[in-house]
Amino acid sequence: MGKIAFVFPGQGSQTVGMGQAAVNENKNSKEIFEMADNRLGRELSSLIFNGPQDLLTKTVNAQPALLTTSIALLEYLKEAGITPDYTAGHSLGEYSALVASGAIDFTDAVYAVSKRGEFMEEAVPNGEGTMAAVLGLDRSILKEITDTVTNGGHSVQLANLNCPGQIVISGTVAGVEKAGELAKEKGAKRVLPLNVSGPFHSELMKPAAEKFTSILDEINIKDAETPVITNVTANPINTKEDIKNKLIEQLYSPVLWEDSVEKMIDLGVDTFIEIGPGKVLSGLIKKVNRNVRVFSVQDPESCEVTLKALRGDGE
């Protein structure tokens, strides 16, 4: 049997009410939400379960909310004795992956991502930075475009390399708009502006990375028990020094998601389990490789479906 990877979604997958069913059914899942509230000193769980959505979507709330929900759902798989050979997460999701791999304790992670969200929001004044998804254009062509625009005095770069034909660019409003226009001229099918509060995974996030270094100094990062495929290089890492360095770099570097999925497949992974709300990563993985098995655990019901399928292989 092939290897299993646990993968965790990033910002954008948050919805009001996520994790509620898990809390109602599972004592350990409930404790995860209580631990988050206690560590942050605020009622994060109430915001997750009751909204409003616009407040939940704010970066400083969405990041700890998604981490908490993902780790609460992870409890089901832990109780069932399902363990991964690798973990990975998309941007913010890398913190859930690190918790799952034993490198960071949950309460430290929820504190860290809350601060990460705060610093990311502060890094660039509102309205000055943005992101856009470019569909149907080759990575190398888009890289040439962003380099040209940056050399022309605007800031823009590749931010999320999600799957073939879907790349997100990030930078100043002028830089992203200019790169978007050139991308269309070069044959991009569509350029979709994203509703985000800043130019994430771009050089403009370096002030956030500098501040965030002190937060990572405060928390206890350990060597990972399970290798984590990091966004920055799409390679497995497990030493605490590597983990810390990559978390800082991740703030201003592209998320190499397509490369990460391909790396895990090269390493023998044929089963991906997305743990957290939504099915964004499941869709991206299928676009990278249609032959792998992909499951989504976003509530107790979908977890049961996943466990039955996995057990079916072992019988």
The CATH fold assigned to 129-196 is Alpha-Beta Plaits (3.30.70)
Residue 168 has what pLDDT? 98
Residue 126 has what pLDDT? 83
Residue 315 has what pLDDT? 40
- Cα 302 off chain centre by: 20
From 3.10.20.30, 3.40.1190.20, 3.20.20.70, 3.40.366.10, which CATH number describes the 3-123+204-314 domain? Answer: 3.40.366.10
302 annotated active-site: no
45 annotated active-site: no
Which of 201, 253, 260, 296 is the catalytic position? 201
CB 251 within 8 A of CB 275: no
Pairing, β 156-163 against β 269-275: unpaired
The predicted-structure confidence for 89-147, as pLDDT tens digits, reads as follows 999 999 999 999 999 999 999 999 999 999 999 999 888 999 999 999 999 999 999 99
Stretch(es) of the chain classified as CATH 3.30.70.250: 129-196
Residue 313 has what pLDDT? 53
Cα(143)–Cα(212) distance, integer angstroms: 28
Stretch(es) of the chain classified as CATH 3.40.366.10: 3-123+204-314
pLDDT in tens, the chain (315 residues): 799 999 999 998 999 999 999 999 999 999 999 999 999 999 999 999 999 999 999 999 999 999 999 999 999 999 999 999 999 999 999 999 999 999 999 999 999 999 999 999 999 988 899 999 999 999 999 999 999 999 999 999 999 999 999 999 999 999 999 999 999 999 999 999 998 878 999 999 999 999 999 999 999 999 999 999 999 999 999 999 999 999 999 999 999 999 999 999 999 999 999 999 999 999 999 999 999 999 999 999 999 999 999 988 544
Which of 13, 29, 45, 91 is the catalytic position? 91
Q: For the chain, what is the HEC assignment?
A: CCEEEEEECCCCCCCCCCCHHHHHHCHHHHHHHHHHHHHHCCCHHHHHHHCCHHHHCCHHHHHHHHHHHHHHHHHHHHHCCCCCCEEEECCCHHHHHHHHCCCECHHHHHHHHHHHHHHHHHHCCCCCEEEEEEECCCHHHHHHHHHHHHHCCCCEEEEEEEECCEEEEEEEHHHHHHHHHHHHHCCCCEEEECCCCCCCCCHHHHHHHHHHHHHHHHCCECCCCCCEECCCCCCEECCHHHHHHHHHHHCCCCECHHHHHHHHHHCCEEEEEEECCCCHHHHHHHHHCCCCEEEEECCHHHHHHHHHHHHHHHC
